[in-house]
Structures are given as C-alpha cells and as structure tokens.
A and B are shown apart, each in its own frame.
Chain A
Amino acid sequence: MLAEIKNVSKTYESDGNKIQVLDSINFAVEDNDFICIVGPSGCGKSTLLRIIVGLEKPTSGEVFFKGEVIAPDNPKVAMVFQNFALFPWLTVKENIELVLESKKQGEEAEKVACKYIKAVGLDNFERVYPRELSGGMKQRVGFARALAVEPVLLCMDEPFSSLDALTSQNLKDELLMLWADTSMPPDAVIMVTHNVEEAVYMANRIIILSPRPGKIVADLKIELERPRNRKDPEFYRWVDKVYSLIV
C-alpha cells in the first residue's frame, strides 16, 4: 500500500460556527492507481487533497504515506495546481529547477529539468517567461515541475479547469501518454475534478463524495480499456453511473 487515508474528518470554525466539510474518509492508494475524486461543489474534494499532501491538517484522522504520517515537505509527493502557480519572474527552466534546489544542484538539476521539459513537449520554451505562454503551456510547466521531483504520488487539483476545451483535451491525452510510460514517475495519481466525463476518461478508480460534509458514497473501479473514446456507448454508461451516484 502506497498511502492510506484513515478516518479523516475536517471541521472549520467561522464566527463561532462549526462547519464540517469532511466526515470519516477512509481509503487506500495502491501502486498504479489513477484515482479521480468527484462530488458536488463544496463537498470538500480540494480540502481532502490538501490534507492528503500534508498542506492542511485534518481535525481528526490521519494520512499515512508508506506507513509514515504524511509531512508537507514529503519529496515523494508532488502537486499540480489549477492556476499553475508559476513564478512570473522565472523562466520555464528556472521554475522547474527551483523545486530541485534542495535535492540537486548545478548540472544535475539542469539535466533533470531538461529531461522533464522534453517529456512534456516544452523543449524550445526553456527560456520563456510564463507571461508569454498560453494556458496549456503554463500547465505543461506545472506537470514538468511536479514530475521533476520524481514523485511516487502525484496529486492534481482541477488541473484542466482553467484551460479551454480543446487545449484541455490535448493535455489530458498527453498526460495519459506519460502515465502509460512506466519509465516515468509517478506510481499513483490522485486527481480532483468536478467534471465527471473527465474523471471517466482519466481514472481507473473514481471516489465519489456526498454533498457537505463529504463522505465516500462510492469507490468505483473503471473497467474501460485505454485509449478511451468519449463517443463509446460504454464510456457513457460509466458517465451516467457516476452522475447517478452524485445526484
């Protein structure tokens, strides 16, 4: 088992009122899992992801990564953000090298950065600043930066939702190509999305949360062969199934 989410609950306090967003979440993450977490707006999907990567503490319960309680600086867990989170004053290459600073320096850092720049198709963009990039290219930098730390677990919070529909389709397919390449990290992915079709397209496992406070309603194994086709009737049966569990 790669990670374990054990009895995780989260309650926020606002003006003396307690708002529970997550209620007793339990699941395990295994090697080769591509998990999508879906659920209605406000069900705590992103909060759960932030707890899993250690950026937020649960009110109760724990997250274990390879048997140890997760820490926010765990180098084996990386995150891709919806809004790219790039440093505008750094070039593409510098944005990627920055995350390697604590582990690798000089030529070694450059070599790793170049490997992942090429892997995501960003070669020729190394010296470009984020302001000159389209949204799709910015998120490629986000992927390269996350992969450069060679994570075991990659967590992604709505990574395609800031992109237009066609760019998003292109990036999903390219991310799945990288996922299919066993020589590339990570070993498992957890992705939060509000888009059911996207979840069925990407995941081999979908965890569905209830409206707030988010509880696990279903944990489905998606038995569809890859590459998946959005026009395939079987694909739509899965989309319908997931929708019926959310509504």
Chain B
Amino acid sequence: MIFPKATISEIIGLLEVVNDSGGIEDAARLAADFDLELDEILPSIDGAELLGFVRVADGNVELTVDARNLLETGIRDRKKIIRDKVAGVGIIKELTSKLMESDERKISKKETLKFLQDKIATADIESYFRIIINWTRHAGLIGYNSDSEEICLM
C-alpha cells in the first residue's frame, strides 16, 4: 500500500483552499494556485481522501459533508473529528490493535518500523513513521517517546 506523506495541517490547509473555491476545484489548478507541482500537492489530496474529507473524480477535488463540518468548527472540535477519522484508517487500526495486545501497551520504534515496512513498500520508512505519528498524536491515539524510542497508546 501507499500511505500519503502529508501532515494533518497540510490536509486541513488543502480543505480550506478547496472551500474557498466553492467546495470543488481542479487538482492542477490547486497546485498552480500555490506555485506547486501537482506531485507536491497530491499527498495532501490523497491524505484528505483517505480520511474521507474529499472525493476525487476526473481531476476534481470535492469536499465531503464531513470536511464541511470540520471547517465549520473551532480548533477544539476539529480535534475530535480528526480523532474519529484517523482511528478508522486501516494501518492505524492495525497498529492500535498491536499495541493493545502488547505488554504495557508499548512497542519499540524498531518493531514499529518493521511492521510499517511490511505494509508500506518504501526505502524511506522513517519519514512514513513520522507522518503516521503526526496523525496519531493529532488524534490522541498513539504517541511516541523519543527518549525510550517507544510508541504507546495515549
């Protein structure tokens, strides 16, 4: 599988920009608006789609009802919506289950990287680890302690 390499902030930023265009916008035009190449904005589009915030068809990116609800709420309530969405992402569900089954609900970073490597075929698994932790921390699901190099349930 491919996991989108975009932070939660980038994904919400994308939703705000699409919202400014009336809720639907051509992906190439979105990129051009920010002087970006299409492949620079695609991870954010893929991330928004994975979280159920946009539908992508015929090169157009369209906000879903969930995205509109997210944009209408304040910072605190956004966190709750993000939590529900991130909790439903397959690889994060699997990682959460793995943590639930583990001793003390902690797993070493080394073991986590191995788990992710089996799911995401990439030579750069470390950057995917950072992105997944960015999502799960935002959601209050899984944290990472860089001193002990362990991930844990929050």
Which residue of A has the minimal Cβ distance to B139? A124
Binds B, one of A60-68, A97-105, A168-176, A206-214: A168-176
Binds A, one of B5-13, B98-106, B110-118: B5-13
Q: A167 with B34: in contact, given A124-B138, A125-B137 (CB under 8 Å)?
A: no
- Chain A, interface size category, equals 20 to 34
| Residues of B contacting A131 in the complex (Cβ-Cβ under 8 angstroms) | 146
CB 8 Å contact bits of A171-196 with B (1 = contact, 0 = none)? 10110011000000000000000000
Q: Are A167 and B10 in contact (CB under 8 A)?
A: yes
CB 8 Å contact bits of A89-133 with B (1 = contact, 0 = none)? 000000000000000000000000000001111011101110110
| Residues of A contacting B79 in the complex (Cβ-Cβ under 8 angstroms) | 121, 123
Q: A167 with B13: in contact, given A132-B146, A174-B75 (CB under 8 Å)?
A: yes
- Which of B20, B146, B154 has the most A CB atoms < 10 Å from its CB? B20
Which residue of B has the minimal Cβ distance to A131? B146
**Contact with B9, one of A125, A127, A137 (Cβ below 8 angstroms):** A137
Determine if A231 is an interface residue (Cβ-Cβ < 8 Å): yes
**Contact with B75, one of A120, A167, A230 (Cβ below 8 angstroms):** A120
Determine if A136 is an interface residue (Cβ-Cβ < 8 Å): yes
Determine if A134 is an interface residue (Cβ-Cβ < 8 Å): yes
| Residues of A contacting B22 in the complex (Cβ-Cβ under 8 angstroms) | 231
Q: Are A136 and B7 in contact (CB under 8 A)?
A: yes
| A124 shortest CB reach to chain B, Å | 5
Q: Are A129 and B21 in contact (CB under 8 A)?
A: no
**A-B CB pair tally, cutoff 8 Å:** 77
Which residue of A has the minimal Cβ distance to B79? A121
Q: Are A171 and B9 in contact (CB under 8 A)?
A: yes
Which B residues from 134 to 149 make CB contacts under 8 A with A?
134, 137-140, 143-146
Complexed CA–CA distance, A178 and B14 (Å): 20
| Residues of A contacting B154 in the complex (Cβ-Cβ under 8 angstroms) | 124
Q: Are B75 and A166 in contact (CB under 8 A)?
A: no
**Contact with B12, one of A123, A127, A170, A178 (Cβ below 8 angstroms):** A170
| Residues of B contacting A168 in the complex (Cβ-Cβ under 8 angstroms) | 13
| Residues of A contacting B34 in the complex (Cβ-Cβ under 8 angstroms) | 165-166
**Contact with B17, one of A121, A129, A166 (Cβ below 8 angstroms):** A166
Which residue of B has the minimal Cβ distance to A164? B10
| B45 shortest CB reach to chain A, Å | 10
Which residue of A has the minimal Cβ distance to B19? A229
Q: A177 with B74: in contact, given A166-B34, A167-B9 (CB under 8 Å)?
A: yes
Chain B interface (Cβ < 8 Å from any Cβ of A): 7, 9-14, 16-17, 20-22, 34-36, 41, 44, 74-76, 78-79, 130, 133-134, 137-140, 143-146, 154
Chain A interface (Cβ < 8 Å from any Cβ of B): 118-121, 123-125, 127-129, 131-132, 134, 136-137, 164-171, 173-174, 177-178, 229-231
| 23 A-B residue pairings within 8 Å (CB atoms) | A121-B75, A121-B76, A121-B79, A123-B79, A124-B137, A124-B139, A124-B140, A127-B143, A131-B146, A132-B130, A136-B10, A137-B9, A137-B134, A164-B10, A165-B36, A166-B11, A166-B14, A166-B17, A166-B34, A169-B16, A169-B17, A173-B16, A231-B20
Please give me the 6 A-B residue pairs with the lowest Cβ-Cβ distance, nearest first: A166-B13, A170-B13, A136-B9, A165-B34, A169-B13, A166-B10
